Structure 1
Amino acid sequence: MRPFTRKTLLCLHVVSSVGWLGVTLGDLALGLAAYGDATLYRAVVVLADYALVPLGLVALVTGVVLALGTHWGLAKHWWVLIKLVLTVLALAATTFLLRSAVRDAAAGDPRGALDVVVASSVSLTVYVVSTVLSVFKPRARTRWA
């Protein structure tokens, strides 16, 4: 991969990943503020539909392309493989579970309100773990290396 292409993809990956983390933090803050007030969940619905899923998809696609186009590889190092699995799980959870919880909460279901806070907290934890893995890059290699 050419250096300009790699740097462009890396920039796009970092921006989308940080955006995904930031929107999740916003969802958590709105979920806590909206607890018991269904009107604020409309903002969370907009964030979930128009920001979380697109940012997650961009982060996933750019991460896979970067892994395949650099020496890190997709399955050579445990940290890359773990990030891939965490990203796929987080994207699936965001797409299905969080959006469902937000819609339930917007309809006035108190369990949905709690689910929004829990889902946002879990997502935030996953993104922080992924960030730590990206920064420290543990050198352990997989058996497929």
Structure 2
Amino acid sequence: MSTTDRTDQRPKTRPAPAGAKASARPPVPAALRWAYAMVIVATLAAIASNVFEIAHQVETGVAGAATTGDLVLTIAFCALFGFFAEMLRAGRQWGRVLLTVFTALGLLFTGLGLAGIGGRLFVGPLQAGLAVLSFVASVVGLVLLFVPSANAWMAEVRDGSRMVAPRLRKLMLTCHVAISVGWLGLITGMLAMSIAGATTSDAEQQAAMYRTMSMLDEIFLGMTSMFALITGIVVGAGTKWGLMQRRWVMVKFFTTMGVMLLGFSVIHQLILKANELVDAGAPVRGGELDTVGWSMAAAAALAVLTLVFMTAVSTYKPWGLTRRGRRAAPAARTAAR
């Protein structure tokens, strides 16, 4: 049953006051239908590219823990993008926000891969072609999400459906807190291991530290940060707090994005470099491993401090409303009456 069908049935079970006209939800504009299609195309192309990479790892005998993590993420993102796209068609503003954020992240990481940056090079022309298709479809879909007709439709239908259901809100809040705690614990453990690796004079202990960090990075770090972002956006955009209406929520959102980029572009690359040096037999002390080890420790310490700052911000909720929040406050008070 479509969203329009469900909407049209509501007046039958819950009559409108006398003299009031039941208004059906306006049809989804063509721009959003095409944006929906482009999101699906981009997602399927990205998933196919990832599956191609996993198959290549299996064929070449380099598959390991990272391959398992990639497979789990591929399945999870397939389900999540489908869910967010359906929420977009249902008029959920938080669905559009989530699609926008993850489409932008996909563009960033696909662009880095196409440019040969980030340690995840594309294998052959087929995977590169899928990445280009995903990139182009993502750009088109992202533009169509915010054309005037899409904005007008969202403004008309979202007021009654912008909030997530109470049960979903509680579930997302529980998941967000649990995942965020796990993220902080993971980064703290990696900080301890990076310091141990940078200070030890035992080559075996140093290699064990850096290989453990590599395993945690490949399997858990990206997954925990990504799901912390997803659940945080749902809790923010789909509840009374709003994603861009209160400064503390907005600061948490952009800070989360910053820590994710720090993990991918700095910590991940340093872990790869440290393991390359260890495998090449680099001296434990007095060489390049010292620089890499202390750089890892500094980056992990910055991530830990940032996550603690975000925890404090969530507790104290400082700074008040943003300009957008001040504009929306009178309308919210009127609607509450």
Relative to the length of structure 2, the TM-score reads 0.42
Give percent identity, aligned residues only. 30
Aligned CA-pair RMSD: 1.2
Task: Quote how far apart the aligned CAs of 1:96 are.
Answer: 1.8
Q: Which of 32, 35, 51 is the matching residue for 2:195?
A: 32
Indicate the residue corresponding to 1:136 in structure 2.
316
Task: Quote how far apart the aligned CAs of 1:38 are.
Answer: 3.0
Task: Quote how far apart the aligned CAs of 1:138 are.
Answer: 1.3
1:53 aligns to 2:233 (yes or no): no
Distance 1:139 1:71, change over 3 A: farther
Indicate the residue corresponding to 1:16 in structure 2.
179
Indicate the residue corresponding to 1:77 in structure 2.
246
Q: Match of 1:77, as an amino acid? A: R
Moved more, 106-115 or 135-144: 106-115
Task: Quote how far apart the aligned CAs of 1:104 are.
Answer: 1.8
1:3 aligns to 2:166 (yes or no): yes
Greater Rg over alpha carbons, structure: 2
Q: Match of 2:304, as an amino acid? A: L
Deviation track 1:54-103 (CA, whole Å, cap 9, x = no partner) reads 00000001111111110100111100000001000100110121011112
Distance 1:139 1:86 in 2: 15
Q: Match of 2:245, as an amino acid? A: K
Indicate the residue corresponding to 2:150 in structure 1.
none
Task: Quote how far apart the aligned CAs of 1:139 are.
Answer: 4.8
Deviation track 1:2-47 (CA, whole Å, cap 9, x = no partner) reads 2211110001111111100000000011111122523320000111
- 1:104 touches 1:113 (CA, 8 Å); kept in 2? no
Aligned length: 145
Indicate the residue corresponding to 2:89 in structure 1.
none
1:113 aligns to 2:282 (yes or no): no
Indicate the residue corresponding to 2:106 in structure 1.
none
SS at match of 2:321: coil
Q: Match of 1:34, as an amino acid? A: G
Q: Match of 1:130, as an amino acid? A: M
Relative to the length of structure 1, the TM-score reads 0.95
SS at match of 2:324: coil
Indicate the residue corresponding to 2:304 in structure 1.
124
- 1:103 touches 1:112 (CA, 8 Å); kept in 2? no
- 1:67 touches 1:80 (CA, 8 Å); kept in 2? yes
Distance 2:168 2:209 in 1: 41
